[in-house]
Structure formats: structure tokens, C-alpha cells
Amino acid sequence: MNETFDFSEFSKQSSKGIIVNYFIILYKVLKSSWVLIPILLTKDTSEFNFTKILLTVLAILIYILIRAILIYLNFKFKIKENAFILKQGILNKSNISVPFEKIQHVNFKQNFIQQLINVTQVEIETAGAKTVEISIKALSREKAVALKKALFAKKKEIVTIEKAKPIKETLHKISVKELLKISISENHFKSLALLFAFIFSGYMQVKDFLETLELDEKLDALLEGNASSVLGDLFLILVLFVLSFIISVIISFVTTFIRHFNLNATLEDNSLEISQGLITKQSNIIKKQKVQSIEVLTNPIQQKLGIYNVFFKQAVSGKINHKKIIKVVGCSKDQINVFKNLLFLNTNFDNEEKHKPDSYYKSQLFFRSFLFLVLLNGVFAIFSTSLFFINIFLVPLLILLVLLKYKKSYYFLNKNMLVIGSGQIGTKTTYFEHFKLQRITMKHTFFQKRKGVVNLVLQTASGKITLPCIRTKEALEMYNFMLYKSEISTEKWM
């Protein structure tokens, strides 16, 4: 069965869009007015008149409904002469026209309500100096797919969607069991450190609170029973440590499930489509030219299990928007090779020499860690001198981290690409094509100049990539070479 959609005339969203609009406005109203609730609650309740409140709430709800309907009625879009045209606005009418070549990617999304009433949200993202983001809140699945096709096809205003199965090659699919494996093997140290700091600062406040509850005495008795207060602190820190570890594992469990549930990467006509998500289903198309760099992340445990996480970094407009960094978890090495071959021209680094940063980088890192230690001990001195014992663990840890960081940083260069390794406990590998370079900077401090090293900073449309402490001669060669590659390239870079 085939269905035909004509986009040459203005069309509205699915009428279910009213419901979606309604909840969006309701959510916005609640979000902006929740501060008022505690104010209202602390007021004397005898002043309240229930019918008045009820009427006010009712009036607000009706206002929202009318607004939702008006938004729906005034939202029209069509395709004309290779551009997507959108009219919207109740009083402030706006007429947006986006040429096809400016469209970065088209995403499908379904939040909870949209899943319930079975409509799809289509987001059209563009990059460039001006930020234009178009979001069509409610379309039927078929219409959404047709629209996406129409936006990527050229000069087609009428699109036929075949309901027969499309030719799609599944690259990567993830089961619940694998998701579990991924979330357990994630690096919990980072979230742990954050949580620990959070709980520790919270503990200071909780302490005051406990005093008022007179629970403090019981706790003190318990701790004093364990002899000296240093031991008590140690005990408490251990408990906090274990507790926060458990919490961070749970948090990573939940977030991984919400984000990556039912992850599915498919290949269709040389374009990569990735869909994932539990509450909000999200599907993104990754176009070769939009991808500025990819990052492959793993950690020792995941490496043993053969799990690699891939970040596709695409061009962003304005501030870094994390939505445009698409994360695919739990890939195998082979799958990463497929991604690389799909996105990049030349991924052959077999004959290339591995470059390391100058050993000055190590000294720099040691110096920074030392500064950090001094600062931290200063803070300890203010709070309690008994905290100094943390240094016993901290100093070897910092030394280890510096050595690991130096060991893991390297880069490879071939005629088309740059591969940069970095990381401390985890390992991050960044792949970048020379011609996507937007700006290159060499930067050195007085000390670096004396040692003959510079930091090389590569700016892309999706952020910065820094190569720390490279010998000046090498850096200069790269500077000239990458600029040259970027300047002679005639390919589209975003």
C-alpha cells in the first residue's frame, strides 16, 4: 500500500498537535510558576477562597487550550523551490524559509505524550551564523518519514512512501543485557568524585541539622565508641564512599537505559541512521559532511569486554549543544571500522609514525597537580587539619594519573586525517579530517617557548581539539600542512 504526500501546498500538523501543544504550554506554565507554589503554601490558608482558586486554575487551563488551538491553526509548512517554508505565530507572524543545503539534519522525536497519541515530532536543524531550529510537534509517522525524504531528495514536492520494507542494513543493535553490561562497566570514578564532593559538602550542613534533631549525640556516641575521632572520620568517609558508589552505579544504570534503550544503528543509502531512547525516542540521521570529528571512548574494563562508545560530533550553531553530539554505546571494533570507513576518506594509518608530545607535557601536568594539591591543602587547613591524611592517598593517585595521561597522549597523521589519543583512566581517540579545519592556533607560554614546544589548537565547527606540548618544528609542519589541506579542499565541510 502506498501513500502519497503533497508538500507543495501548505499543510498543517496532525490535529493531535493540539494535545501536544496543550501539554507543552502547560509544562512551560508550571515550570515558570512553580516558585510561586511555596509562597502560596506558606500564606495563611484561611485567606483562601476555594472557588476563586478553582476558577483561576480553570481560566488558566482554558487560556492554554485556546492558545494551543491557535498555535495549531497558525502553524503551516510547505516545500517550494528546494526550500522548506514555515509560517507560524498567532500575533507575531513569522515566515521562515530554509534552503535544503542549509539543513543539517532532520530528527524524529517522541516524548511520552507523543508516544501515547502516536505522533512524531520532526526537528529540522540548521547550522550557520544564524540559529534556525524548526520543530514540528505532531505528524503521523508516515508523513514524518515522507517529509524527511522530501527534505533530502532534491526538487521533489510530492513524495510517495512505499509501505513495503525499506532496504536497510542494521549495523548495530543493542539488547537489554548489553545495556546492563555497558552501564556497569562505565567509569564511575568521575560521578563518584562529584557525588562525594556533593555529599561531603552536604554533610557539613546535615551536621547542623542533626544537631537540632539531637541525633548527633547518638552518632557521636557511636563514633566515640570507635575510639579516636580520626577513626570516626575514616569510618564515615568509608560509609559515604560505598554509599556514593552504589548511587553512582544506579544513576548510570538509569541514564543509560533512558538514553540508549533499544539503540539501533542502520545504514540506508550510505547515510547512517541512529534511533534510541526509552521515554523520548530519538532518531538521528548522520550525514557524512556534517560530521566534524568522531570520538571513541572506552575504559580498561570496557576494553576487556570489547565495548567502545562512539560520539559523532556535528557542526553546531551558537553554543555547544549536546543534542548534536550523538552518542552510540556498546560498539565493537568492527563496527567502529564500518563507521570510520563510511565517514572518512582515508583511515589507513599503518605506515604512519606515532608521535608523542614532548616530555615537557609531563612536567606541566606535574606542576598543575602540585598546584592543585597546595590549594586543596589550603582548604583543608581552614576546615580541619585531620584532613591532611587524605594526601597519603591523593599524592600517589595524582602521580599515577599524570603518568597515565602522558602515556595515553599521542597522535598519528596521514594525508587526510589526524588521530589523537588522550585520556587518563579511560581512553579517548579522536578522528579528524584535515579539510574540516576552521581555524588553527599555535600557543605557547614563556616556559614552553624556552623548551621549544607549543600547544596546537584546532578549531572545528563542533569545538576545539587541542594537541598539547608538541615540538615547535613538528607543530609548524602540521600547521602549514593542515591549512594547506583546508584551503585546497573543494568539498563541503558542513
Partner 1 sequence: MFENTQITSQLPDVSKLDFKAIDKKYLIVLVLNFLIFGAVISIGLFFLIEERLKEFPEYAFYFYTLVAIILMLTLVLRIFGFYKRKYAVREHDISYKKGVLVQYVTTIPFARIQHVELEEKPFSRFFKLASIKIFTAGESGGDLKVHGLPKKQAKKIKEFITHYINE
Q: What residues line the site for partner 1 (CB under 8 A)?
A: 127-129, 292, 315-320, 413-415, 437-446, 449, 459-464, 476-477, 479-481, 483-484, 486-487, 489, 493-494
Looking at beta carbons only, is 27 or 484 nearer to partner 1?
A: 484
Residue 8 CB, shortest distance to partner 1, in Å, is 30
Residue 77 main-chain phi, psi, to 5 deg:
-140, 155
Q: Residue 149 region, left (φ>0) first, then alpha (ψ -120 to 50), else beta? A: alpha
Looking at beta carbons only, is 191 or 314 nearer to partner 1?
A: 314
The span from the CA of 253 to the CA of 248, in Å, is: 8
Three cell numbers at 294?
Answer: 568522531
Residue 461 CB, shortest distance to partner 1, in Å, is 3
Residue 353 CB, shortest distance to partner 1, in Å, is 9
Residue 481 CB, shortest distance to partner 1, in Å, is 6
Looking at beta carbons only, is 280 or 459 nearer to partner 1?
A: 459
Looking at beta carbons only, is 21 or 455 nearer to partner 1?
A: 455
User: Which whole-number Å values give the CA distances from 195 to 79, 162, 163, 335, 425, in the listed order?
Assistant: 50, 51, 49, 34, 18
Looking at beta carbons only, is 123 or 352 nearer to partner 1?
A: 352
Q: From 466, 488, 454, select the one nearest 418 (Cα to Cα).
A: 466
Residue 488 CB, shortest distance to partner 1, in Å, is 9
User: Taking a C-beta distance cutoff of 8 angstroms, is the pair 231, 218 a contact?
Assistant: no
Residue 441 CB, shortest distance to partner 1, in Å, is 4
Looking at beta carbons only, is 98 or 150 nearer to partner 1?
A: 98
Q: Which are the contacts of 228, defined by CB distance < 8 A and separation ≥ 6?
A: none
**DSSP annotation string for 277-294:** -SSSEEEEEE-GGGEEEE
Residue 196 CB, shortest distance to partner 1, in Å, is 31
**Burial of 446 (C-beta count, 10 Å sphere; 0-12/13-18/19+):** exposed
Looking at beta carbons only, is 127 or 343 nearer to partner 1?
A: 127
Looking at beta carbons only, is 7 or 479 nearer to partner 1?
A: 479
Residue-level length of the chain? 494
β-sheet bridge partners, residue 420:
411, 430
Residue 307 main-chain phi, psi, to 5 deg:
-105, 125
What residue type is assigned to position 462 of the chain?
S
Residue 348 CB, shortest distance to partner 1, in Å, is 10
Taking residue 356's Cβ as centre, other Cβ atoms within 10 Å add up to 15
**Helix or strand holding residue 412 (H, E):** strand 410-413
